[in-house]
Amino acid sequence: MDRVSSFDEPLKKLLGGATAKVMAEHLDLHTVGDLLHHYPRRYEERGKLTALADLPLDEHVTVVAQVADARILMFNNGRGKRLEVTLTDGSGRLQLVFFGHGVHKPHKELLPGRQAMFAGKVSVFNRKMQLAHPTYQLLDASDADEATEAVDAFAGRLLPIYPACKQLDSWRIAKAVDAVLPSAQDAVDPLPASLREGRGFTPLPEALLKVHRPQTKADIEDAKARLKWDEAFVLQVALARRRYADTQLPAAARRPVADGLLDAFDAKLPFTLTEGQEKVSKEIFDDLATEHPMHRLLQGEVGSGKTMVALRAMLAVVDAGGQAAMLAPTEVLAQQHHRSITEMMGELAEGGMLGGSDRGTKVVLLTGSMGMAARRQALLDLVTGEAGIVIGTHALIEDKVQFHDLGLVVVDEQHRFGVEQRDALRSKGKQPPHLLVMTATPIPRTVAMTVFGDLETSVLDQLPAGRSPIASHVVPAKDKPHFLARAWERVREEVENGHLAYVVCPRIGDDAEEAEGKKGKAKKKAADEDPEKRPPLAVLEIADELRKGALAGLTVEVLHGRMHPDEKDDVMRRFAAGDVDVLVATTVIEVGVNVPNATAMVIMDADRFGVSQLHQLRGRVGRGSAPGLCLLVSEAHEASPARARLSAVAATLDGFELSRIDLEQRREGDVLGQAQSGVRSSLRMLTVIDDEEVIAAAREEAVAIVAADPELEHLPELRTVLAALLDKDREEYLDKG
């Protein structure tokens, strides 16, 4: 058998069809290699030997004792069978119990007078200590030394506990691992020998043996260090190769021209850019000036001025004769960007129009719900090059959309776009356009290196001058209803002082929503029986209550995703102008909505939102000179994880800190794209948030290796392992980020 194939061997050859079927269906394990990479979640120590008199309840113990008596009892009219064994060790007595088919073997072996070692979890039944279905080992060695050795080996062993499922418990998985463990010798080692020796790593076969069958705790640490490194390294090599391949693509260099659109725009800015914005702009302009496509991630704190940086990059590209497209995840956001960009540019956005600047260009909006005439005009402006900048939703990606010379694509809120969309838009350029991805959710550095590893990263962590602090408080509506009453008073006070307020709810509450689930009545009934199960609060209901009650006399309007786009636009416009005092909305306002005079936000059922979502929402207030206020209303119990999450959000305005907290709570599954691609995370040992040093070091090594040998011609083993990791699903999973 050659070295690769024993890892590719289907499990049913070695384990039998039934076990292999359960492993495939419930644990997604199909080959010997899959099972060898199914690592123990933790290890139980069988415990040092405990005297029967000192048994602790609910703990795993190992005891050596003598069988005093054993008897089979019938129950359930003779249909059930139970074996009860009484042990003694001179210090006390202990009962063992075995049920059903499990009674035959111990009944034959555990005869009065036999000595054995027993391991299990101590429980109490009928006020007596007992072990149910313990594992045991008979100690009838004639030689006393041999018996002592057996006791030591058994008691001191580390038992691997595997991630299991209802159909297959951990010890059966352990038995299956025993069957495939000899194949660990055939593991293809992806690490170049110089790297492995330089870092003092255990060889891979040995690491696999140590992780599954450790003799000591040091074995576990050794194995983990090696296996974590492999995961980080192989992933980073894949990403480094993708970055390298991108640098080999041709692109048109786009350099801003003196006295062009960008200079004219900068000259009319009423404020100066922050140091951070200057620095990041320089990184972007340097990339745009090269003849291969820029691939850059721009991440920044909520309100750090990412749009301004992106707009200046777009203007530089228009100066250089190209066009720029900005892709937004929702129509509300596309309209918002279009409005704020045309406002910022003034007459520079009216190129070719009467009264427009001769240095200007046209800025067009393209969304799916536009009227035919407006849409036809926008498409015409794009194909002739009349429009230098287009802002739109997925509608931009359609086949019909043709550009004169697409030079830059700005993607807002990356995690909502798969790679297919990125590529579809890219293919509209004569050559691959430059790509700038903006994410409004700050991401810890390691996650950025792993999830967005094919992009260079720029970070804006400075807020522009004139941004105000936001005070955040949790309002425990259930325990302290008067706090909620006070929250509405605060909203009224803000409005009386000439400001505006948002109220955010998790759901719309219209008929379409109820019809979609057809669960309205059932939900209501469940809610009456158990208030914990009530449906989330809804925009339409809360708006109605507020108009009649706590905010009577104020102008209260609603905004949600099922409204007609013109209607949404109209409400947003009137709110921004101050004709609407309070906007009750769903999370459509989560990203990019910019109303400087909005100072207060009340988030209903705040515990039903994620940490980064709450941080996003909160970033909609305090955008002007007046301080912001964010009230997180929750009925969650004080000691619940949900409340802990809200307290964390209230305690810090640092999005990077919050994203760490969020990650620690959700772990990587969500972050690494299960939600986006439905593919299981290929990280088994590595935790992105805890293994920062490993990821950073692996990235460094990977970049060096790929620079020296892009095709990995001299590293066939690494190529083999990469091919296995990057089968079709994994490739997509990496792509989707």
For 368-400, write each residue's pLDDT tens digit. 888 899 999 999 999 999 999 999 988 888 878
Q: Which residues of 84-102 are buried (b: 16+ CB within 10 A; e: fewer)?
A: ebbbebeeeebebbbeeee
49-67 confidence digits (pLDDT tens): 667 877 877 777 777 888 9
- Helices 641-651/655-666 angle, 10° precision: 170
| Range name among 316-330, 455-469, 647-661 with the lowest pLDDT average | 455-469
CB 433 within 8 A of CB 251: yes
Quick count: other Cβ atoms within 10 Å of Cβ 475?
24
DSSP letter at 200 equals T
241-250 confidence digits (pLDDT tens): 888 888 888 8
For residue 201, pLDDT beyond 70: yes
C-alpha span between 459 and 455 (Å, rounded) = 12
C-alpha span between 409 and 734 (Å, rounded) = 20
Which residues share a beta bridge with 366? 392
C-alpha span between 737 and 735 (Å, rounded) = 5
The length of the chain is 737
pLDDT given at position 526: 47
For residue 415, pLDDT beyond 70: no
Q: Look at the pTM and tell me if it is higher than 0.85.
A: no
549-562 confidence digits (pLDDT tens): 999 999 999 998 88
Give the H or E element holding residue 539.
helix 539-548
Task: Give, in order, the Cα–Cα distances in Å from 148 to each of 29, 66, 143.
Answer: 39, 15, 9
Task: Give, in order, the Cα–Cα distances in Å from 159 to each of 153, 174, 657.
Answer: 12, 9, 37
Place of tokens 């536009």: 370
**Residue 682's pLDDT band (cuts 50, 70, 90):** low
What type of residue sits at position 386?
E
